[in-house]
Amino acid sequence: MLHLLSYVPEKRGPNTDMIEEPIQLRNVEVSLRANGREPSSVYLAPERVELPWEHRDGYVHVTVPEMSGYAMVVFEE
């Protein structure tokens, strides 16, 4: 499982950072080291939107088409 965050932190004090504004991202490419394993499926949770993936050079490569603030990618064995 991979958690992706895309927010702009804002300094509100000497020890206070607030995270309020999400950043919209498109076509986020991620690679997860496979350690000799291959997933049976890769999808966005909780919607269970299947994502195309490729296993090459010891990594599973996937592109998240769009996210705003947070996305969770599940690599299911």
Q: Using CA atoms, how far apart are residues 68 and 31, in angstroms rounded to an integer?
A: 19
Q: What is the CA radius of gyration of the chain?
A: 15
**pLDDT reported for residue 5:** 92
**Residues in contact with 14: Cβ distance below 8 Å, sequence separation at least 6, in sequence order:** none
pLDDT per position as a tens digit, 40-49: 999 999 999 9
pLDDT per position as a tens digit, 4-63: 999 988 888 888 888 878 999 999 999 999 998 999 999 999 999 999 999 999 999 999
Task: DSSP letter for 69, please.
Answer: S
**pLDDT reported for residue 8:** 83
The Cα diameter of the chain in Å comes to 47
Domains parsed from the chain with CATH numbers: 2-76 (2.60.40.1180)
Give the residue carrying structure tokens 């499982």. Answer: 1
